[in-house]
Amino acid sequence: MKLCVIMPAYNEASVIADVIRQIPKKIMDINNVEVIVVNDNSTDNTSRVAKEAGAVVLNHRLNLGAGGATMTGLEYARRNNFDVAVTMDSDGQHDPSEIKKLVKRVLSGYDLVIGSRLLGSQRHGMPLIKWIGNNAFNVITFLFYGVWVTDSQSGFKAFSKKAMEKCQVESVGYEICSALIGKAKAEHLRICEEPIKIIYTDYSKRKGQHYLNGFNIVIRLALSKIRGSL
Amino acid sequence: MILLFAKFLAVIVAIFVLAKTTHDYKKKKESRIMFLFWYVLWWGVIALTLFPRIIDTIFGQGRSGVNTFMGLVIVFVLYMSYRLYIKAERTEKALQQLVKELAIKMPKE
């Protein structure tokens, strides 16, 4: 079985090599692990650094956003016949060793596994404002798509082959997180959550999206819902 | 005085757009239909600016005539916004597709 680890990246040259090197190369029932970095038109050396660290780099000629980069990675995985795909952030806030847990759940029969930073009642070190924002988006995702998850905005997800084929959405920004969950529900895929830890560094906090971007996400979700494109 | 300045400005803008659309049509950057559409529209703007009584003639005397006219203008502006939104969205999607295809087909570059 082939696993594809997809990392959307924008100006992550200073940290991406470490993240790539930490990705486990041996995972039970997986023969081949390929790391795909989708360089979203970075202005630094992200592309070169990622390539030197051993990743296949897909270069966007224009900056599309995190969602667009994720969809490029999933499209690559589909076309190259990967059995499982995992998406994760390239800023180091996800622990690469936890890929195994997500893959295991996919191999046990789930189609979409969401790595949840908030499974359980604790904040796990998440800043209060982010915690409130995430919960607000959980409610919005539920209202729009009828799926309740504890961390709808998590970028750490695993997809089965079926999910890769069915979850094709047109979102390009951060709204992709909710849109993918909605699409999975609409396609009657099996969804589950797996607890993950989150590594907050000064760097990852700086790189995080601005709170006001939340309004953009809601507007984009509403527009895609109106258009029926998810 | 302000009204005169507004009229002057409207006519200048209309003339500029007319010159631009004529130039684009001659350079074959614009279709004949679009050229005619903009041509008639902006000559209409000039006519209404210089002879506002046309509004009274078409839509009736007094305030209700002006209101009807303004209502139609708002509908037209909304329609144009809708058209622009659709066009921008289609262009954005095509561009995204192109960026994605280039990235996947040329991963080594």
User: For residue B102, is it within any domain?
Assistant: no
A64 to B96: CB separation less than 8 angstroms, yes or no: yes
* Total domains in the fold of chain B: 1
**Residues 6 or more apart from A50 whose CB is under 8 A from it?**
A7, A9, A16, A17, A20, A37, A39, A57
**pLDDT computed for residue A59 by the predictor:** 96
**pLDDT computed for residue A30 by the predictor:** 93
User: For residue B19, is it within any domain?
Assistant: yes
User: For residue B90, is it within any domain?
Assistant: no
User: For residue B21, is it within any domain?
Assistant: yes
A112: Cα within 13 Å, side-chain hemisphere: 29
**pLDDT computed for residue B107 by the predictor:** 61
Residue ranges of chain A with per-residue pLDDT less than 70? 120-124, 205-212, 227-230
**pLDDT computed for residue A116 by the predictor:** 92
| Core vs surface per residue A159-186: b (16+ CB within 10 A) or e | bbbebbebbebbbbbbbbbbbbbbbbbe
The interface predicted TM-score of the complex, written ipTM, equals 0.79
DSSP H helices in A117-187: 128-145, 161-166, 176-186
Suggest the residue from B97, B100, B105 to mutate for an interface test with chain A (most A CBs closer than 10 A): B100
Distance between CA atoms of residues A203 and A74, nearest Å = 26
**pLDDT computed for residue A135 by the predictor:** 86
- A210 touching chain B per CB within 8 A: no
A59 to B96: CB separation less than 8 angstroms, yes or no: no
The letter for the amino acid at B51 is F
User: For residue B104, is it within any domain?
Assistant: no
DSSP H helices in B1-109: 2-26, 32-50, 53-59, 62-105
**Residues 6 or more apart from A88 whose CB is under 8 A from it?**
A5, A6, A7, A19, A94, A96, A99, A115, A155, A156
Q: Is the distance from CB of A30 to CB of A138 less than 8 angstroms?
A: no
User: For residue B108, is it within any domain?
Assistant: no
Nearest to B104 among A62, A68, A79 (CB): A79
The pLDDT tens digits of the residues spanning B35-75 come to: 898 899 889 888 888 888 887 787 777 666 677 777 778 87
User: For residue B12, is it within any domain?
Assistant: yes
**pLDDT computed for residue B55 by the predictor:** 78
pTM for this predicted structure: 0.76
Q: Which domain holds residue B75?
A: 2-81
**pLDDT computed for residue A99 by the predictor:** 96
Instruction: State the pLDDT confidence band at B77, using cuts at 50, 70 and 90.
Output: confident
A59 to B109: CB separation less than 8 angstroms, yes or no: yes
The two most distant CA atoms of chain A are separated, in Å, by 44
**pLDDT computed for residue B53 by the predictor:** 81
- A228 touching chain B per CB within 8 A: no
User: What tokens were used for A161?
Assistant: 């082959």
**pLDDT computed for residue A230 by the predictor:** 47
Q: Is the distance from CB of A20 to CB of A92 less than 8 angstroms?
A: no
User: For residue B27, is it within any domain?
Assistant: yes
Percent over 90 (pLDDT), chain B = 20
Residue A186 C-alpha, separation from nearest chain B C-alpha, in angstroms: 22
* B103 vs A contacts (CB less than 8 Å): 38, 58-61, 72
> What are the Cα distances from residue A87, in Å, to A33, A59, A224?
13, 17, 22
